[in-house]
């Protein structure tokens, strides 16, 4: 699936960026943008499938989704590098996702998120193999949710600010991409992003420590 995602991007860039991908974004046909949005939804459904096939337990399905998503994303960038020689560095800007609006960020950022998702999945699966009913506590879920919200903010803040100024009625869905013509990202909120990563990492470390077998168990 990582190769499939990379192959689709190779085709899209051949159509819209024959000279090589760069910002500002080129306007795409509305039907093409809608097709890409639906493809992203289909990809998420496919990434849920391995967990659904492996276990009926919701927590373990969530963990396997995190693991599968992370491996898929890292493989995607590895295959893009193999096929196109892109990105030139881990600080190269990329369009990361289109739902519910456009996400952008340096390639390093989603790669770090993917590593974190793999660690979270490993903590859950390891814990459940040793402690019955193991999973994040309420406060751990709260901290992970806050970290996730901050990370999403760092990815979407730039595009949303641009859209609010240029086309406030076209922030969401298929209309957002064309409205970003002329947008060039220039700043990524690394302090907020790294704070969110540290917050999530602290939760994962605690979960690894908690996922040990009880004495005498």
pLDDT tens across the length of the chain (217 residues): 999 999 999 998 998 888 888 888 887 777 888 888 899 999 999 999 999 998 888 999 999 999 999 999 999 999 999 999 999 999 999 999 988 888 999 999 999 999 999 999 999 999 988 888 898 999 999 999 999 999 999 999 998 888 888 776 667 766 777 777 778 898 999 999 999 999 999 999 999 988 665 544 4
Q: In whole angstroms, what is the distance from residue 93 CA to residue 79 CA? A: 17
pLDDT of residue 169: 63
Indicate the pTM of the whole model.
0.90
CB within 8 Å of 178: residues ≥ 6 apart: 27, 28, 30, 33, 170
Do residues 181 and 169 lie in contact, with contact meaning Cβ atoms separated by under 8 Å?
no
Task: Rounding to the nearest 10 degrees, give the CA dihedral for residues 190, 142, 164, 98.
Answer: 80
* Nearest one of 14, 15, 64, 76 to 40, comparing CA atoms: 76
Token output for 139: 């406060």
The domain spans of the chain are 2-210
pLDDT of residue 173: 66
Q: Which of left, alpha, beta for 209 (phi over 0: left; psi -120 to 50: alpha)?
A: alpha
pLDDT of residue 182: 79
pLDDT of residue 215: 47
CB within 8 Å of 1: residues ≥ 6 apart: 43, 46, 47, 72, 75
Q: In whole angstroms, what is the distance from residue 203 CA to residue 124 CA? A: 11
């Amino acid at each position: 699936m990582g190769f499939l995602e990379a192959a689709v991007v190779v085709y899209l860039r051949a159509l819209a960026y024959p000279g090589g991908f760069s910002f500002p974004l080129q306007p795409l046909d509305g039907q093409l943008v809608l097709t890409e949005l639906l493809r992203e939804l289909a990809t998420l459904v496919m990434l849920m499938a391995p967990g659904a096939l492996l276990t009926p337990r919701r927590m373990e399905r969530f963990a396997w989704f995190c693991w599968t998503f992370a491996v898929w994303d890292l493989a995607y960038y590895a295959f893009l590098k193999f096929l196109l020689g892109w990105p030139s560095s881990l600080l190269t800007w990329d369009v990361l996702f289109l739902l519910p609006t456009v996400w952008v960020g340096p390639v390093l950022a989603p790669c770090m998120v993917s590593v974190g998702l793999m660690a979270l999945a490993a903590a859950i699966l390891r814990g459940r193999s040793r402690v019955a009913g193991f999973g994040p506590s309420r406060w751990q879920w709260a901290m992970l949710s806050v970290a996730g919200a901050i990370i999403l903010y760092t990815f979407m803040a730039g595009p949303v600010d641009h859209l609010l100024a240029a086309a406030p009625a076209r922030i969401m869905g298929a209309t957002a991409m064309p409205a970003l013509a002329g947008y060039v990202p220039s700043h990524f909120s690394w302090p907020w992003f790294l704070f969110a990563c540290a917050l999530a990492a602290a939760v994962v470390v605690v979960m690894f420590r908690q996922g040990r077998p009880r004495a005498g168990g």
